[in-house]
Amino acid sequence: MHSTLLLPVWAFVSYIIYLIASSVLTSRHHRRRAHELHCADPPRVRTADPIGIINIRAMLKADKESRMPQYLCERYEASCEREGKRLGTFCQNILGSWSVFTTEPENIKAILASQFKEFGLGDTRNNNFAPLLGHGIFSTDGKGWEHSRTLLRPQFAREQVSDLDLEERHVQNLLRNLPVQSDGWTEVTDLKTLFFRLTIDSASEFLFGESLDSQISHFPDYKTNRMPMKVSEKEFGIAFDGAQGGIAKAARFGDMYWMAHDKQLKKHCETCHTFIDHYVQLALSKDKASLRSDPKNGQYVFLDAVAETTRDPVELRQHLLSIMVAGRDTTASLLSIMFLLLTKNPHIYAQLRSVVLETFGTFDNPKNITFSSLKNCTYLQWCMNETLRLYPQVPINSRRALVDTTLPTGGGPSGTSPIYIRKGQQCDYSVFVMQRRKDLWGPDADEWKPERWDGRKSGWEFLPFNGGPRICIGQQFALTEAGYVAVRLMQKFGEIQAAPGDDSWGVDKNGAIDGKLKVWVTLTGSPADGVRVRMKGATE
Ligand code: HEM
Ligand SMILES: *[C@@H]1O[C@H](CO)[C@@H](O)[C@H](O)[C@H]1NC(C)=O
Ligand SMILES: *[C@@H]1O[C@H](CO)[C@@H](O)[C@H](O)[C@H]1NC(C)=O
Ligand SMILES: *[C@@H]1O[C@H](CO)[C@@H](O)[C@H](O)[C@H]1NC(C)=O
């Protein structure tokens, strides 16, 4: 009796001894390798608790207060300084595992480009995103990612991304919501709401061949021949935001992301899927021949093009949703923040506007607004780059080591030794923090100064669209769309003013944002309190 009871106890004790011994041996092995490779540890952020709950609590609090990126900057400012130089890399404890946090261009370049094969998104991120996005381009590594990338990339060729007639229709719809009153000004309006509707309308037309018309469906004269849907465009919008928010929150828990996957997230994802599946079924009901011969008046439709290469409805759904996540909020947020910064910097609005009028004519007599002339308009590009520098839409990102490897810098007393990275270790990087580093951008790094781009060659210290093989495939699409919308609005409106009394954030005397601007971050960031302004109709 006794001996049969003892057996499992003995087995259990041996197992624990085995675990401890193997962990000691592994640690020794890693220490030896690190030594051979001349690696040294980066500084560790110490927390009072052994498993770093304090770190998670601080991040969730920053999320709640819409100041996650600022929180990251503060933590960077509080990090070690060695020999007069702030260290751009440190280690932090997230639920018992040590992850690296870096803002060092050289390390980010290694993670994204020169050592691309050694780092991946990792199973944690991929599985965290899966309820909404399946294993599409944003949530796969290796072969699966290569497949999606090869399939999607050609859809972003220059011809497809420069359909400015499509964009013009949506700008006209935006303007219907911004009528100029008899006093020459519009009413106070939240531009962020308008930009989010604009980009969902143009993205849906590009993706499905049919706009969701969220900008105009509330007008009494609105007619549509769209088929009735099980899920309305409004319900989809709410569920889409909710699902992204849920996933972003879960991501703060690292490997324990599944703890935050609740019923509500599941419901939001189902709503999104039902909505998208309507379009997938529509595309699949057309046969291949008609897909090719019957694009609506020669218009390019993303879904039809992709449906020529795959007939798998789940795959089509995940491509559509991935592109929507990638493309809608990012461009809308870039526009929102740029107009917010222009509102706070009236002299730059005036200067950009005069360049716009000179280059592209007036609102009623526009000339030559094309893909290449937008790209060619230097001051406009400076303003967009400078916005992407101070408020990158993906402020924080991360990768996992797929093998035992090293990062080139950040370790040891001088902060310049390579760092040893174990297989599976998480490496977080923040371009938000990097793009504000004073040692990289000068003492005026916090200021919005388009002129700083004059003659500046950007390298790995400027990464709003990421770099390396996984660089954003929508970069040209986004810059063309945002540039076009900005040009048309500036032609239309001679002046822009913040809503009276709406001054919870501001600029200091140098034009620097005072740090109080709330940035709401789910998977991407945008101004939390919107962009409430009024605009004055142009007199030209
Ligand atoms: C201002 C606008 C935009 C910004 C700042 C931006 C930024 C980024 C960033 C930082 C990534 C890397 C994400 C990662 O690897 O973790 C990314 C990837 C991606 N972006 Fe964008 N993006 C923008 C607009 C767009 C648009 C309009 C589209 C498409 C319509 C798009 C499609 C994609 C896709 C498909 C990927 C995944 C690429 C891959 O993993 O191979 N993006 N973007
Ligand atoms: C557009 O630009 C081309 C060359 O860049 C020029 O020949 C043409 O006159 C321009 N059109 C207008 C309407 O200004
Ligand atoms: C771009 O700008 C240059 C000089 O600023 C000009 O010569 C050229 O014609 C422009 N190209 C387009 C397509 O507008
Ligand atoms: C804006 O940044 C991009 C890098 O993303 C760079 O290629 C481009 O030259 C910059 N534009 C200007 C006008 O400096």
Ligand number with the minimum distance to the CA of 467: 1
Ligand number with the minimum distance to the CA of 367: 2
HSE at residue 427, side-chain half, CA atoms within 13 A, is 34
Residue 14 lies in a domain: no
- Give Cα 73 to chain centroid, integer Å: 18
d(CA 540, CA 526): 32
Most confidently predicted of 23-32, 55-64, 430-439: 430-439
- Cβ atoms of 92 and 427 closer than 8 Å: no
Q: Looking at the predicted structure, is the pLDDT value of residue 132 above 80? A: yes
Q: Looking at the predicted structure, is the pLDDT value of residue 206 above 70? A: yes
Q: Looking at the predicted structure, is the pLDDT value of residue 510 above 90? A: no
Rounded distance from Cα 88 to ligand 4 centre (Å): 24
With bands split at pLDDT 50, 70 and 90, how would you rate the model's confidence at 74?
confident
Q: In degrees, to the nearest 5, what angle opens at C-alpha 371 toward C-alphas 366 and 375? A: 100
Report residues whose beta carbon is within 6 angstroms of any ligand 3 atom: 372-373, 376
- Point out the ligand 3 atom lying closest to the alpha carbon of residue 368: 14
Higher pLDDT, 385 or 76: 385
Rounded distance from Cα 355 to ligand 2 centre (Å): 16
Q: Closest residue (by CA) to atom 10 of ligand 4?
A: 385
Q: Closest residue (by CA) to atom 3 of ligand 2?
A: 368
What is the percent of the chain where pLDDT is above 70? 91
Q: In this structure, what token pair is assigned to residue 390?
A: 């101070």
What is the percent of the chain where pLDDT is above 90? 51
- Point out the ligand 4 atom lying closest to the alpha carbon of residue 378: 13
Which residue out of 162, 164, 358, 376 has the highest number of ligand 3 atoms within 8 Å of its CB and is therefore the one to mutate?
A: 376
- The four Cα atoms 49, 54, 56, 59 give a dihedral, to 10 degrees, of -160
HSE at residue 38, side-chain half, CA atoms within 13 A, is 6
- Which residues are registered as beta bridge partners of 119? 401
Binding-site members for heme are: 472
The structure's pTM equals 0.90
Look-up: residue for tokens 């390798």? 33
Residue 17 lies in a domain: no
Residue 438 lies in a domain: yes
Phi first, then psi: what are they for 105, rounded to 5°?
-50, -40
Task: Write out pLDDT tens, residues 149-200.
Answer: 998 888 888 777 778 988 999 999 999 999 999 999 999 999 999 999 999 9
Q: Give how many domains the chain has, as a whole number.
A: 1
Q: Compute the mean pLDDT over every residue in the chain, rounded to the nearest whole number.
A: 87
pLDDT attached to residue 230 = 83
pLDDT attached to residue 65 = 76
Which of 160-169, 330-339, 379-388, 478-487 has the weakest average pLDDT?
Answer: 160-169
- Cβ atoms of 528 and 494 closer than 8 Å: no
With bands split at pLDDT 50, 70 and 90, how would you rate the model's confidence at 253?
confident
| Side chain identity at residue 200, one-letter code | I
Look-up: residue for tokens 């106070």? 188
Query: Could you tell me where the DSSP H helices lie in 345-370?
Result: 346-360
Which helix (H) or strand (E) segment holds residue 102: the answer is strand 97-102
Task: Write out pLDDT tens, residues 339-376.
Answer: 999 998 999 999 999 999 999 999 999 998 999 999 99
Contacts of residue 198, defined as CB under 8 A and 6 or more positions apart, other chains included, come to 170, 171, 173, 174, 215, 332, 485
Residue 26 lies in a domain: no
pLDDT attached to residue 512 = 47
- For the chain, what's the residue count? 540
Residue closest to 100 by CA, chosen among 410, 522, 344 = 410
Q: Looking at the predicted structure, is the pLDDT value of residue 43 above 80? A: yes
Most confidently predicted of 27-41, 46-60, 286-300, 506-520: 27-41
Residue 9 lies in a domain: no
Range of the domain at 345: 37-537
Q: Looking at the predicted structure, is the pLDDT value of residue 401 above 90? A: yes
C-alpha R_g of the chain = 25
d(CA 283, CA 305): 10
Q: In this structure, what token pair is assigned to residue 4?
A: 């049969």
Task: Write out pLDDT tens, residues 255-277.
Answer: 889 999 999 999 999 999 999 99
Higher pLDDT, 308 or 110: 110
Which of 184-198, 419-433, 511-525 has the weakest average pLDDT?
Answer: 511-525
Q: Give counts: helices (H), strands (E), the chain.
A: 20, 14
Strand bridging mode 97-102 / 426-429: parallel
Mean pLDDT value across residues 318-322: 93
Residue 29 lies in a domain: no
d(CA 20, CA 303): 53
d(CA 396, CA 524): 9
Coil vs helix vs strand at 361: strand
Which CATH number characterizes residue 194's domain? 1.10.630.10
Q: In this structure, what token pair is assigned to residue 123?
A: 């199973």
Residue closest to 152 by CA, chosen among 508, 532, 460, 471 = 471
Each as own residue / partner, the long-range contacts of residues 236-243 (CB below 8 Å, 24 or more positions apart, any chain) are 236/212, 236/271, 236/272, 236/275, 237/200, 239/267, 239/268, 239/269, 239/271, 239/272, 239/275, 240/268, 240/272, 240/324, 241/522, 242/268, 243/131, 243/132, 243/268, 243/269, 243/272
Mean pLDDT value across residues 469-497: 95
Q: Closest residue (by CA) to atom 8 of ligand 3?
A: 376
Q: Is the CB of 372 under 6 A from ligand 2?
A: no
Residue closest to 251 by CA, chosen among 108, 139, 407 = 139
- Cβ atoms of 284 and 190 closer than 8 Å: no
Residue 381 lies in a domain: yes
Count of Cβ atoms closer than 10 Å to residue 384 Cβ:
23
Higher pLDDT, 486 or 228: 486
For residue 321, give Cα distances in angstroms to 131, 285, 317, 326: 11, 20, 6, 8
Report residues whose beta carbon is within 6 angstroms of any ligand 4 atom: 378, 381-382, 385, 453, 458, 462
Ligand number with the minimum distance to the CA of 376: 3
Coil vs helix vs strand at 312: coil
pLDDT attached to residue 321 = 93
Residue 6 lies in a domain: no
d(CA 180, CA 54): 51
Q: Closest residue (by CA) to atom 15 of ligand 1?
A: 470
Q: Looking at the predicted structure, is the pLDDT value of residue 509 above 50? A: no
Mean pLDDT value across residues 447-457: 93
d(CA 292, CA 281): 17
